Each structure stands twice: as C-alpha cells, then as structure tokens.
A and B are shown apart, each in its own frame.
Chain A
Amino acid sequence: MAICNTVVPIKSKSGAISYKAQSQDEDALVNAAARLHMVYANKNGNILEIRFHGLIIQYEILETLEFTSDRKRMSVVVKDCQNGKILLLSKGADEAILPCASAGQQTRTFVDAVEQYAQLGLRTLCLAWRELKENEYREWSFMFKEASSTLVDREWRIAEVCQRLEHNLEVLGVTAIEDRLQDGVPETIETLRKAGINFWMLTGDKQNTAIQIALSCNFISPEPKGQLLLIDGKTEDEVCRSLERVLLTMRSTFSQPKDVAFVVDGWALEIALRHHWEAFTELATLSRTAICCRVTPSQKAQLVELLKSCDYRTLAIGDGGNDVRMIQQADIGVGISGREGLQAARAADYSIGKFRFLKRLILVHGRYSYNRTAFLSQYSFYKSLLICFIQIFFSFISGVSGTSLFNSVSLMAYNVFYTSIPVLVSVLDKDLNEETVMQHPQILFYCQAGRLLNPSTFAGWFGRSLFHAIVVFVISINAYAYEKSEMEELSMVALSGCIWLQAFVVALETNSFTKLQHLAIWGNLIAFYIINWMFSALPSSGMYTIMFRLCRQPSYWITVFLIVAAGMGPILALKYFRYTYRPSKINILQQAERRGGPILSLGSIEPLQARTIEEDVSPLSITQPKNRNPVYEPLLSDSPNSTRRSFGSGTPFDFFQSQRLSSYSRNCKDN
C-alpha cells in the first residue's frame, strides 16, 4: 500500500511528512499505511524509504506501469534493497486483478469481501503481488523499454507488454475507502429536480457502490416508491434484450408517479452505444434518472453527446481530470475545484467550490443572467430600430433622398453616450428575491421555456420601437411646423423625445431600483442635456446655440412631455393589464413577495407531477424531442457526479481524523 502508488512525500519543517498525491485514493492509502506504522518516508530518485517501527527499509523502483482506464490497474516493479528480490506489486479494480490471480487461489473470499464493501457504498480496490525472477524481469524490461519508445501505437504496445507481466498474481487483500458525500448534496439534487432538471450519474465505480451512493443522496428512491431497472449483458444479444425489457417498462410506467431509473455498466454501455443507438436514445429521453457505472472518460463524453443530440441542454459537473472531456463536451461545463486539483476547474466554463453551490449557480445566477441577457439584447435592438424608423419616416417627407434627420455627432453619441449607460446598470436587476427562487425552484421552468426571449417577445419590442418612432415623428413634425420648421431644431426635438422615451422604457422594465439604477437612468438624461449644451456652445459646430434656444421655448418642453405621455401611456396600460389579469408566474411571485409573509406552495413536491402540470414545457421535453419548437428548449442537466470522488473530495482528511479508521482500508483506484 505504501509503495504501489505515485505519491511523493514532502517533509515539512517540523519533521511531519505530508503526501502529494495525484488522487485522493492514493493519498488515503498511503496515510492509512502510515497509521499502520508503515510510513512512506522519503523518495530519492528511484529509492523509496519506508520506516517501519523505526527501521528503515529501502526499495528501488525499477518500473512503473501506469494506470490506464483499459487495464484498470496499476503496477510497480520494485527491488528490495535488503535481499535483492524483484517484486511486482499491483493494485486495481477487482475485476481487473482477480482474473489475473494465479489458479488455485481462493478468490471466493475476496469476491465476497468486495461485494460486502460495495453494499456499504465503499470504493473497493484489490492488491496483489508476485515475485519475479532476475532474467524474467530483464527480458520483460527490454520489451517494455522498446514498447515505450515506439512511435506507432504506443499505448497499445505498452498495454500488451504489461499484460505479459501481470499474470499469476497472488492476491493480497481488498481495500475499501469511504468517499463521503459533500454537504448539501441531497438537498441540491432535490431542489434542482423540482426545477425540472434531470440528473444522470456517471461514475467509474462498481455498480453496487454507485447504487448505494445514489440511494444515500436521494438520487433514486428505494422500493416501493422507485424502481431500478438494470441493463446488463456481455454480448450484443444480451444487451439488446435487456434494453428492450427496460424500454418496455419505461414506456408503460411513464405516466405513473413512480420514480423509475435505469442502471447500466460500462461494458453494456459500450455495446449499447455501438449497436443500439436508437433504442438507447429513446431510453435516454424517457428516463429522468440514470446511473452509469464503470464508465470511461470517453464514454462519459459520448453520453453527453447523445443527450445533446436529443435537443437537450446539458450541464456536466465533475471534479477530476477524467471529467475534463465530458465537461468540454457539454453545453455548460462546471468544474468543482477542490483537493483533486484544478484540472476540471480549468477546463470548465464555471468553476465552483462545492457541489451544493450548483443550486445557487443554476437557480440564482443562471436565472438572473438569463433575464438580464434577454432584456439587454432586446433593448439594444429596440433603441437602434427606433432611430432607424424615424430616419425612414423622415425620408418620406424629404423626397426620399436620404437626408438624415439627425446630425452626425448626435448619431455617433447616441449609441455610445446617450443610451448605453442605463442598460449597463441593468446587470444589477433582480426580478425575484433569492429566497423566493430557492423556495420555488419550479420557476426555472419559466426560463427553460424561453419565455423571456423568443420570437413573440422580440416582435413585441419591435412593435414597441415602431410605435414609439411613429409617436416621436408625428408629434415633432406637427409641433414644429411652419415657421418653427428648421432642420437642426427639429432634429434635436426628435432626439430629445427618443432619449426621454428610452429613459422611461428602461425604468418600466427594471424590476429593482437601486441607487445606481436611479443614477444611471436619470443621470443619463441630465448628461444628455449637458453634452448637448456643450456642443451648442461651440461656434464651429452645426448645433451652435440650438439647445439653448430650444430649452428656452416652452413649446419644446410641452412637445417632449407629450411625446413621453403618448409613448408610454399605452405601454404602461398594456403592461398593467397583463400584470394584473394575466400574470406570468414571475409576476405572481413578485406580488406575493411584496405582500410579505410565507408563500405557500400547496402543490405536491413530486417532481413527476409538477412536470405534467406545467403545461408548457415538460411534456414537450420528454415525449417529443425531435419535433420540438426550437425556441422552447428545456434544460436537462446531465449532472453526472462523475466519479464519486466529486462527492467526497471535500473531506477525506477530516474523515480520517474524525471517523474510525477500520483495519481494512480499501483501495479505490481512480478511474
């Protein structure tokens, strides 16, 4: 345990030894060995020093056969410096080690032990060893060096060479490591389920381990409430039949409020993905929960791709290096930066500290971001369209010659100075309190349906800009007619009207007013006047004295207020009408918030039921993935807690300190 790893011990100043390991399991094992007085003290070049009760034993590492996900084991060849013997030490998954055991060994006990540990939800590893003869080793070492230095098919050749050595092993024992769940994982899964997100767990552990963990974190419900369907088989036919059976059950229980989930292991998954793509795809769309065990990193990425091809929005969350491919493949990749290292965090779009932060990431930040983006993008179109429409209308009365009503300075400054500041502050806009959202995760359905950004809302903004352009144009033309009709003055009246209207539009669309919002919206209006006064004071500008003249005329102010009232009145009336008599769910929650007091959610918490009630999205999301309205795209979270280590990465150390350290510490290989 102390030797067969890739751990580097670091001596700190006070003499205590700390270990730098690539995976949590190796870390745990070396520490466990240290507890059992077999302290891995030092590593100088190839010489390992083990301190046993004060005695120092030295080993020389001759070769390290690295871990690969195909072989599912790792080995080292060491030479005992005391007596010159060459040993091969192996460590790996039970199904990788036990078959290599020498014939005649009683593997029965080991298999039972492994099963027992798996039932408890622990990660299991097997240890084995063999003594090598000098010439056998030399021969093999030569082949190994040759294989390592080839340029063609390097991995395959190395695997082949390793195969030659790893046989006839003598099984030493079985280790089990408890990978504790992080805090808050069951609640997070529960809340996100309510929000309409489906979860899949992709892990490299054994099936039983994975099932136990899933039960413990509320991922699946135990019988009789939930039903677990198994897909297994070693050959194509077996897998096919198993798949058919599961599909049948899924289809028939689809409408029942039963929690049905399926479990598939890596081997069967490989066969299914290769030969039964359509059936598996159908299964994927029918099920809301799935557990896949013993999956390799490439299989994880393949699964994500499969779900993406079903028109689902996928989010992949993981914390180890083997999750990187999956994270990159998904629409949204979330990496948990923890003791594992920062590989996953670096490859991800978002990196969070703990799994339970996912809830906040999706429900709070994701939702706010969606709202704000929807507003910002549509508003930008609106303000540009406003100016364009006015120019188009003006061209009708200027002989369709292309005269620009607005002077070039105003046009340039329009997009940059006059209209950008109020919306920059809209990044602080919150339509619902965080507590409300956490209490009612179903509100996420609303976002999933694309309710705030779709062709009809866009048409609404388009219509609004057309209406406002008509209002501004008609009023300015008629109020400044005959003797007042002058190009520069009319252009400034129209521009003032536009700017005032936009200030009010932003104010109407903002849900929460902080000081910054007030400053931005009203301050922007004042800045508009100040900038124009400055221009009006320059004799060489075309606008010389225009703004001063205008501001002195009462008819200017009357025109501007008329524009504001005529433009905003219908909008306000429409919005009020919709708010009160046809409120959207967000509006209802806003009003309830306002009234204060607890917002009772009388409906059932059963996610399945909530899903079928919600008339807009969920039936679509499950039954008809293909002919779905491309606008309404539900968010299906592929939240594979990929290796279970994502749960436990928080606290293996604490575990060792506070929990009983059993005499059998299990060895979990990173997958």
Chain B
Amino acid sequence: MASSSAGGPGSGDAAPPRRNSKRPKYSRFTQQELPACKPILTPRWVISAFLLVGIVFIPIGVISLFASQDVVEIVDRYDSVCIPKNFTNDKVKYIQSPGSKPPCHRILNVTKHMKQPIYVYYQLDNFYQNHRRYVKSRNDKQLRDPSSENDISGCKPEDSNSRGVIVPCGLIAWSLFNDTYNFSHNNQQLKVNRRGISWKSDRDHKFGKDVFPKNFQSGGLIGGGKLAYNVSLSEQEDLIVWMRTAALPTFRKLYGKIEVDLQKGDVINVTLGNYYNTYSFNGKKKLVLSTTSWLGGKNDFLGIAYLTVGGLCFFLALSFTLIYLIKPRQLGDPTFLSWNRGPGGH
C-alpha cells in the first residue's frame, strides 16, 4: 500500500522504499518553506504609519519653510529696460549691432540684512539649454586634451571654419553668456569674486589645463562672449559654468560671490553691460543677488510640499480612525466569504 504523505511532492518517482529514489534533496528553499513573515494591513498599523509620517513631515516642512524664508533674494529683470530709447522697437537690431554699447545703470535695494557670501546669479528664462541638439553639441575629449584638438564630432555647425578647427567647438560654448555686472555701494566698488564659481571636478578633470581657445567666435555669426586666447580652459570659469547645461528652461547660473555683508536699507548701484541676445526668442534676463541656506536658494516648494503631505497624512489617519470607530469590522470574519453566505445573501 503506497503510503500517502502530504509533504512536499517529489517530482520524481516517489515510491517509498527504493534504494535509488529520484526524490530531490530536501531544502527549505526548493520546497518554498522558508520562514516568512506575512504582514497584513491591520487598522492599527496603517493608522499609526500615517500618523508617524504626519508627525515627522510637518516639522520638516516647517523647518524647510523657515530655511527658505531666511534666504534673502533680490531679483531684477533688466533686459527690457536696458535698451536705449531709439531702439525700443527693434531690440534685436540693437543687440546685434557691432561696436561698443553704453553700460546700463540699475538700482537695487537691500530689504533685509544679507550675510556673506552673497551669490550673484544671472537668470535666463525661456532659454532651452536642455534642447536635444544643443545638449549634444559639444566634444568633451577636445575640452580635456590638447592632442584631441581636431576631434570635433558632434559639434556641428560650430566645429570649424575657413581658418581651421574651433576650440572649444559646439553650440554650447558658442552661446556663452557675456553680460557683465559691476556693483558699487556708497561710491565704493563691491568686489565680486569670480574665481571658484565652477565645480572643482570640472576644473580638474573635464577642462584641460593646457587647452587654449582657438578660432573662437571668429565666424560670421556671433553667438555670445569671446574667450581670451592665452587663458587655458580650466581657468575660464565662465565657460565652465555655462557648459554645465541646465535642465529647465528657466535657470540661474553663478556669476560671482560678494564677500561682504550687506545691511538692510543699502542701495546698490549696478553697472551692467547688456550684450547677450535674448531678444530673438523672447527670453528674459534677470540679475539675482541671493544668500543661501542649508537647503539652497529660496525655494518654498519643499516646505510647502512637506506640510501638505504631512497634513494629508494626519487627515487620513484621523478619518481612518473615525471610520474604524464608527463602523468596526472584524478582520478575517469567515462569514464574509461569499461561499459561506446563504443563497439569498449578497
């Protein structure tokens, strides 16, 4: 009489007393008998999970919001006002006209005490540095190594001209931002530290110490700023900052740092050179002075989001508790199994 065992089914011939049984070796893994914990969603656990999230998130939200509110930010849009009156209707023509242009004067008012270092950014709106053809229009090998000077693959249309190969090639370098800002306060020049504004890793590894610009911005169409031919790329910090492509059409890039405090009520005179052409595509240019916190610049989003999520979790926890108290339901009640209900049951 073959003994019937309810244990794991051997896939082979399972006749009991056989010397060479084909039964596979027993292991908890292959028999799927590993000890397992089977959590189920009881009201206790779920409500406390939501409560915990709420309790943790609301303070974080508050802290983030405070950090963001601590940041002092001065934003000034100047591209529409820095055009001389006779060119107001044809801004593009003005910006593209050769020859030197008169500087533009702006006034900035400091509303709160700003602790150093104060970061000076230029903000561009509607500038798609994340466009596919723009993003790939560069050649990292050429930037790194002087011997790869002629490696201009991918840089079309700014790869070479009649005089030879362009270093650095590509549209990103070609469209280098070249507005300049000078700050003075109480007739005293405010020094803007323009070194150390790019990533150290970029300076050390991405842009070569012995790569020098060649043939840059010498073609017919000028896209942006020019580069000094005797300064190696690793020291051209503006270029390095600009070539770190931004992910959104509205972005800020670091221009420099002011290393003195600014007091409340200070009036800053800005002398800026409006050279960069954002008028062809309705872009906007803004000058930003900002302090930073541990969270970065002024961004209320995180704080508000945390508060919202924390609040929602609280609300959910409360409502689940209410529902549980009003309409308790025993878990695992077998009478709810539909095959246990009478024929007339629902």
- Same complex: yes
Q: Does B78 contact A (CB under 8 A)?
A: no
Chain B residues contacting A397 (CB-CB under 8 Å) are: 130, 248-249
Q: In the complex, what residues of A have CB within 8 A of residue B132's CB?
A: 398, 401-404
Q: Which residue of A lies closest to B304 (CB)?
A: A478
Q: Render B199-228 as a binary contact track against A, CB cut-off 8 A, 1 for contact.
A: 101000110000000000000000000000
Would you call B332 and A594 a contact (CB within 8 A)?
yes
| B140 vs chain A, min Cβ distance (A) | 8
B34 interface hit (Cβ, 8 Å): yes
Task: Across the interface, name the chain B residue whose C-beta is closest to A365.
Answer: B9
Task: Report whether A403 and B135 are in contact in the complex, using a CB–CB cutoff of 8 Å.
Answer: yes
Contact of A354 among B2, B57, B306, B334 (CB under 8 A): B2
Bound-complex Cα distance A613 to B342 (A)? 8
A153 within 8 A of B: no
Residue B41, interface by CB 8 Å: yes
A590 and chain B: residue at smallest CB distance? B40
Convert B64-76 into 0s and 1s, putting 1 for each residue whose CB lies closer than 8 angstroms to a CB of A. Answer: 1000000000000
Q: Are A481 and B245 in contact (CB under 8 A)?
A: no
Residues 298-317 of chain B, each 1 if its beta carbon lies under 8 Å from chain A, else 0 = 01011001100100110010
In the bound complex, how far is the Cα of B339 from the Cα of A603, in angstroms? 6
Q: Contact flags (1/0) for A633-656 with B, using CB distance below 8 Å?
A: 000000000000000001100100
Decide if A208 is an interface residue (CB 8 Å cutoff).
no
- With A and B bound together, what is the CA distance between A353 and B23 in angstroms? 11
Contact A513 B36 (CB under 8 A): yes
A172 within 8 A of B: no
Among the interface residues B290, B299, B309, which one has the most CB atoms of the partner chain A within 10 A? B299
Does chain A have a CB within 8 A of B110? no
Q: Is B325 an interface residue (CB 8 A)?
A: no
Q: How far is the CA of A516 from the CA of B30 in the complex (A)?
A: 13
B-contacting 9-mer, from A223-231, A377-385, A574-582 = A574-582
Contact B244 A486 (CB under 8 A): yes
CA distance A566 to B37 in the complex (A): 27
Which residues of the partner chain A approach B201 to less than 8 Å between Cβ atoms? 544-545
Q: A485-B246, A554-B295, A651-B1 in contact; A514/B34 too (CB < 8 A)?
A: yes
Contact of A588 among B11, B38, B320, B333 (CB under 8 A): B333
Least CB distance, B345 to chain A, in whole angstroms: 8
Question: CA of A591 to CA of B334 in the docked complex: distance in angstroms?
Answer: 9
Q: Is B251 an interface residue (CB 8 A)?
A: yes
Beyond A576-B46, A580-B329, whether A353 also contacts B10 by CB under 8 A is yes
Contact yes or no, B343 A609, CB < 8 A: yes
Decide if B301 touches A479 in the complex (CB within 8 Å).
yes
Contacting residues, chain A, for B309 (C-beta < 8 A):
562, 565-566, 569
Report whether A603 and B332 are in contact in the complex, using a CB–CB cutoff of 8 Å. no
Per-position binary interface string of chain A over residues 480-510, scored 1 when its CB falls under 8 Å from any chain B CB and 0 otherwise: 1111111101110000000000000000000
Determine whether the beta carbon of B338 is less than 8 Å from that of A337: no
Contacts known (A589-B337, A600-B334); A183 close to B38, Cβ less than 8 A: no
- Mind listing 9 A-B residue pairs with CB under 8 Å? A403-B131, A482-B251, A491-B247, A514-B36, A565-B53, A573-B320, A591-B40, A651-B2, A658-B1
**B interface residues (Cβ-Cβ under 8 A, vs A):** 1-2, 4, 9-14, 32, 34-41, 43, 46, 49-50, 53, 57, 60, 64, 119, 121, 123, 128, 130-133, 135, 199, 201, 205-206, 244-254, 290, 294-297, 299, 301-302, 305-306, 309, 312-313, 316, 320, 323, 329, 331-341, 343, 345
Interface residues of A (CB under 8 A from B): 182-184, 337, 351-354, 356-357, 360-361, 397-399, 401-405, 428, 430, 440, 442, 445, 475, 477-487, 489-491, 511-517, 539, 544-545, 549, 553-555, 558-559, 562, 565-566, 569, 572-573, 575-576, 579-581, 583, 585, 587-595, 599-603, 609-610, 612-615, 650-651, 654, 658
Known: A481-B299, A544-B205; 17 extra A-B contacts, CB below 8 A, are A353-B10, A360-B9, A430-B32, A480-B247, A485-B246, A485-B250, A485-B252, A513-B36, A516-B34, A554-B294, A554-B295, A569-B50, A569-B313, A588-B334, A590-B332, A594-B40, A602-B334
